[in-house]
Structure 1
Amino acid sequence: MSLKRAHGDIQPGLKWGPFTLRIPGIHVDLTPSTHLQGGLLLLATGGATAPLLVQYFGVSFDIAWTVMLVMFFWVFAQTFLFGDVYSAGGIAAGLPLTIVFLDSLTPGPEAVRAMIAITLVVSALFLFFGLSRLGERFNRMVPGPLKAGIIMGAAVAAFRSELGRLDSMPLTLVTAWAVVLTLMFSVPFARLPNTRLKTLVGANAMLVAFIVAGVVGLVSGELEFTIEWGFFVPPLGATLDALAPWSVGMPSWDMILTATPIGVMLYILAFGDLLVADTLLHEADDARGDEKIDIDLTRSHYVLAIRNLAQMVTAGPLVMLHGPIWTGVQVFLIERYKKGRQVMDSIFTGTTNFYLMAIPLGLLMPVLGLITPMLPVALSVTIILTGFACAFVAMAMVHDNVERGVVLTIGMLTATLGPAWGISAGLILCAVLLGRRGLPGDADDKTPESPAPDSKATVDAS
């Protein structure tokens, strides 16, 4: 049993600076029923970007999977080591934009240095806006149509990348897309009676899509599963030799300057994720009076900077950077949390137990044999969901045909020519075509949309 808190207090832990260490089994209850589901889902969705590391960084799958295992540690660290309350994830909406950026580079060390540059820019922004506490003011200064255009750029880039991948396994991918979009967004499915089966299937839409697509892929011959016994031994030395900054070299100032526009975009998307997370957690806090949920935006900025920098020096950079929240898991855990202390003692009980077994499971060769062939499918589902959700959120943020045209133009330029073009052209279009509505600091005050929904899509699929 974990240490018990007094009614209405913050969950106990060991304070260190602005952070709090909570050891599973001591400060947080263990709930084994969550371990397998959470571990497998994190391996499949979080590990989905491993093929991108192979493609763009020119490394072996063993090295790519080692990077993923280190990523799982830093994802888990957000909860148990730093004491941040969110269900950690990645900046999913930024992934299509990052892919567009990497497509213009030579795979190998050049692409690795480019991702190091992006990581440094985003981490510096997290640190600056955390220390200065100016993040919310900066978010308000970005014109609403420009934010919508950035999100639309992620949508366009997502669909372009996945349509290009369709020839490799058409039946498997189309099946996965159809199942997950139906379960998550279908109006007829939502109108079905709320049976236990519907609730179970809807809550595990991505897992169901993976299973159905796996069966279709196996039957059609597009997927092949090879099960081996034993344990995966991560080649940490070879990973650092291939991807660490001191091995491939630091990016040039020109590269950092080139990476700055996409870094700014990623920060905007991540800050929106923080606002979404705060909205969800305030609802959870209102639902229960036995625990005070400790939400601290400044601490979260520090944590995100540390996670990304620590990832870079312990296993090399990621293609999808560390972000604040995995929205689907956060919503799932909060709904359980609202049912009372007898179901989930603390909000940290959910996050800690959901992530706890990802690394141990990821070291088992039989599990790897099942998951590895599905990683391209998991990646495709993640990107398609991101694109679909980003598209409808971007369109919901605009209010007339001129704004829709501006948003689509910014999105197309961002996805085809890059973030620098998207931001530059977007600022000009907002000023020329929208007048005062498109000026920094004015758009959000004059439109009914709040900052939180503009990134709801950024992590719905992460």
Structure 2
Amino acid sequence: MVENGGWRWGPFTFRLPFLHTRPCWPELLQGTLVATATGLALVPILTGYFGMSFEEGIATSLLISTFLVIALWVFGDPYAPGWTTPALPLVLAFVLARYDTPELRFQAMAALSISYALLVFALGVTRAGPRLMAWLPPTLRATILIGSALAAFRQVFVTDAPRFLHQQPISILLACALCLVLVFSAPVHRLQARHPWLRRVTALGLLPGFLAAAIVGPLVGEVRYEVEWGWLWPPVGDAVAKMSPFSIGWPPLSMFLDVVPLVLLTYVIQFGDWVTGDAVLRDAQPARPDDPIRIDPRRSHLALALRNFGSALVVPFFPAQGSLWAGVHVVVASRWREGPGAMRDLHSGLISYYLMGLPLIYFLLPLLTGLQPLMGVALAITLVTTGFACAYIGMAIPRTNAERGCAVLGGVALSLFDPWIALALAVAAWWLLVGRDPKAPAPAEAPARVAGEEPR
């Protein structure tokens, strides 16, 4: 069986919107709202720590979104692309603490993106990625996730608190609480079976919490809207001049050596994203034999490597070029499995959620200026929900008390110390307190195949 539509080139498939894919209006509407709220969450980081103006931050987000959509258009990966969000708190803690100027921080981001691209490319070509992950002890995987969770909470409630939380406490806490309840609450998920409207609300992910802050914020005096009318032409050239290594200089070799631990940690998180995305597709594929989806780890590795290397040259903000936006992936796959009447094919649904690759929201000045006072809220709910997800996934991995204690100890080290020191401490703690179980089986690499197809 082969995938439907598109032009094949090497291991990739190019799909042109409106020719190879059709608009799916529910996904297009959700994408317009959700992408607007979450796609701009990096703007307060760019303006606060990387010397960007608001307009240049918008231009940077536009470029990042363009590289994300390339995963769907050019490479044909069957996942909803997004940030490798659990790595973001670790990366911010490292870059902001170690480097003082925007130029050095962008150079560090470029070093991270280039190093990561080379690692992912090598693991894809040699097909060594699954073997590397099979070798990695589960306790260390849990350590990375717990470290990401602690770093995310520290970023929101300590590092960024004077700039955001102290200025908008009610709005941010309300938005974070509502998002946690809608996304993670077991009682709410049980109620979805009896209340279809609740299922539709939870499918919107972070948007309800964001909208609640947008309504309550002005009522309590924490948000003041100053909407401007017209069109915004994002200053792409000015933004690229402030961050591209072609204009600010290339990272020195010492910087490439400094970022190695973060690159390895990010790959571990990324591999988990692929496992999650594959599981969702394999679960839904039996309901759609008319639209076979080919899962190819080699293609996914090469596509991710090329995107990260390309973005490093133009818009180096690591880890904004990941392979999975889990919430969107699940929402689209759920409607896809309902049949051709609901969604003609999976790629149409995915590309529709990304506005068919047409980033009109970045040009609408009323929308952008209306969202400007809520950027801190968007960043806070992104980091808090990421931290909570990393925490409960990470704590579910250890099987013994020793493994749980070791994972928490290593996670604290990752959130507080230099990456090389933290990684050494985490490995030492695992070696001394847990050790490798000689009876644990090592899973073999899965070949490329259609989702849902039984391995031969």
Using structure 2 for the length normalisation, give the TM-score.
0.92
Cα distance in 1, alignment partners of residues 429 and 40 from structure 2? 38
Matches within 5 A, 1:308-347: 308-314=308-314, 316-347=315-346
Aligned to 1:297: 297
Cα distance in 2, alignment partners of residues 241 and 9 from structure 1? 43
2:81 is equivalent to residue 88 of structure 1? yes
Bigger Cα displacement from structure 2, 327-336 vs 29-38: 29-38
Whether the 8 Å CA contact 1:124–1:305 is kept in 2: the answer is yes
Cα distance in 2, alignment partners of residues 360 and 258 from structure 1? 38
Bigger Cα displacement from structure 2, 332-341 vs 233-242: 233-242
Structure 2 unaligned regions, length at least 5: 159-163, 446-456
Structure 1 unaligned regions, length at least 5: 1-7, 438-443, 452-462
Whether the 8 Å CA contact 2:130–2:444 is kept in 1: the answer is no
Aligned to 1:129: 123
Aligned to 1:68: 61
2:42 aligned counterpart, secondary structure: helix
More helix by share: 1
Q: In percent, how many aligned pairs have the same letter?
A: 33
2:63 is equivalent to residue 47 of structure 1? no
Cα distance in 1, alignment partners of residues 116 and 46 from structure 2? 19
Aligned to 1:206: 206
Cα distance in 2, alignment partners of residues 128 and 386 from structure 1? 28
Change in Cα spacing, 1:445 to 1:390, as seen in structure 2 (3 Å) is farther
Using structure 1 for the length normalisation, give the TM-score.
0.91
Change in Cα spacing, 1:190 to 1:18, as seen in structure 2 (3 Å) is closer
Shift of 1:365: 0.6
Whether the 8 Å CA contact 2:227–2:366 is kept in 1: the answer is yes
Aligned to 1:459: none
In structure 1, what residue type is equivalent to 2:6? G
Q: Deviations over 1:137-190 (max 9, x none)?
A: 011111111111011000111111111252121101110111111112223323
Matches within 5 A, 1:183-202: 183-192=182-191, 194-202=194-202
Aligned to 1:270: 270
Whether the 8 Å CA contact 2:234–2:362 is kept in 1: the answer is no
1:15 aligned counterpart, secondary structure: strand
Whether the 8 Å CA contact 1:35–1:354 is kept in 2: the answer is yes
Cα distance in 1, alignment partners of residues 236 and 188 from structure 2? 46
Aligned to 2:155: 161
In structure 2, what residue type is equivalent to 1:151? L
Change in Cα spacing, 1:375 to 1:274, as seen in structure 2 (3 Å) is same
Whether the 8 Å CA contact 2:148–2:387 is kept in 1: the answer is yes
Cα distance in 1, alignment partners of residues 387 and 280 from structure 2? 22
2:165 aligned counterpart, secondary structure: helix
Whether the 8 Å CA contact 1:173–1:213 is kept in 2: the answer is yes
2:428 is equivalent to residue 428 of structure 1? yes
Cα distance in 2, alignment partners of residues 25 and 240 from structure 1? 30
Change in Cα spacing, 1:91 to 1:43, as seen in structure 2 (3 Å) is same
Q: CA RMSD in A?
A: 2.0
Tell me the matched-pair count: 438
Whether the 8 Å CA contact 1:265–1:419 is kept in 2: the answer is no
Aligned to 1:354: 353
Shift of 1:344: 0.5
Bigger Cα displacement from structure 2, 152-161 vs 164-173: 164-173
Cα distance in 1, alignment partners of residues 319 and 372 from structure 2? 18
In structure 1, what residue type is equivalent to 2:339? G
Aligned to 1:145: 139
In structure 2, what residue type is equivalent to 1:295? I
Whether the 8 Å CA contact 1:74–1:307 is kept in 2: the answer is yes
Aligned to 1:375: 375
Q: Deviations over 1:360-416 (max 9, x none)?
A: 122111111222222211111110011111111111111222111111110011000
Shift of 1:312: 2.4
Cα distance in 2, alignment partners of residues 305 and 247 from structure 1? 23
Cα distance in 2, alignment partners of residues 38 and 340 from structure 1? 21
Whether the 8 Å CA contact 2:46–2:57 is kept in 1: the answer is yes
Matches within 5 A, 1:437-448: 437=437, 446=440
